Amino acid sequence: MALSKAKLKYIHSLEVKKIRKAEGVFLAEGPKLVGDLWGHFPCTLLVATREWLDKHPGNNADEVICVDEEELSSASLLRTPQQVLAVYRQPKECIDANLPMHALCLALDNVQDPGNLGTIIRLADWFGIEHLFCSAGTADAYSPKAIQATMGGIARVQVHYVDLPNFIRQLEDCPIYGTFLDGNPLYDEPLSQHGLIVMGNEGQGISPEIESLVTSKLYIPNYPPLRPTSESLNVAIATAVVCAEFRRRASLQLG
């Protein structure tokens, strides 16, 4: 089957959030990412070179289109297309509001950059955090840039969009952690193996409404303490530092 102009238009339209949402799909590109997501989400469209298709027989995509490198380049949203792109179905939303009561979860308060979001999903996957709760103002986890940045982590991390303040208010007696420049040093604070870690917007941090709900304010200290340094860390880097410390403490407790 040839790659028609209508199909090209459809693939490129998936850059637009409202179309992705209406169709209930997302786009992934490249052999590794497509391979990592295979089997986790139903594939509605597979566009690949003959070389890739010959190496991956028996795929069960709803529609398969074999293309040459030039055709793939015209369909791809990447600067350097890589053999294959796939359109997958987004998972159906299923939220258990009590998850942070018995597992460590992440929450994002208006994180805007899809690259940061995708990297945080990748980090959550690395640290065994399976649920990420996002405010309505957080970037779309199913945008092409976010999906590429997850490096396959989206297959194992469930992303939920919620009214974040109301969601947190339902978590009675649950630890709610947040990072602040005036918080207590991360390495000195008691940390639970369950609860919700809130990370804030790239420029504004955690919003005042969410801040009022945080039960433990954390600060990532620079080193050495009095040395002049950057004002703050990138939100994805900060997430990595915080999650690493939570999991280090958990490992010590298990040991």
pLDDT at residue 235, as a whole number: 97
pLDDT at residue 58, as a whole number: 79
Question: According to CATH, what is the number of the domain 99-254?
Answer: 3.40.1280.10
Cβ-in-10-Å burial (0-12, 13-18, 19+) of 163 comes to: exposed
pLDDT at residue 225, as a whole number: 81
Query: Which tokens is 52 given?
Result: 């890739």
pLDDT at residue 95, as a whole number: 85
pLDDT at residue 253, as a whole number: 79
CA distance 119 to 220: 19
Query: Which tokens is 246 given?
Result: 């939570």
The structural domains of the chain, with segments of one domain joined by +, span: 5-89, 99-254
* DSSP H or E run through 27: strand 25-29
pLDDT at residue 177, as a whole number: 98
Q: What stretches of 157-211 show up as alpha helix (H) in DSSP?
A: 164-169, 208-211
pLDDT at residue 158, as a whole number: 96
Chosen CATH of 5-89 out of 3.40.50.1000, 3.30.365.10, 3.30.1330.30, 3.40.50.300: 3.30.1330.30
Residue-level pLDDT, tens digit, the chain, 255 residues: 678 999 999 999 999 999 999 999 999 999 999 999 999 999 999 999 999 999 998 788 999 999 999 999 999 999 888 999 999 999 988 888 899 999 999 999 999 999 999 999 999 999 999 999 999 999 999 999 999 999 999 999 999 999 999 999 999 999 999 999 999 999 999 999 999 999 999 999 999 999 999 999 999 999 888 788 887 899 999 999 999 999 999 988 776
pLDDT at residue 230, as a whole number: 83
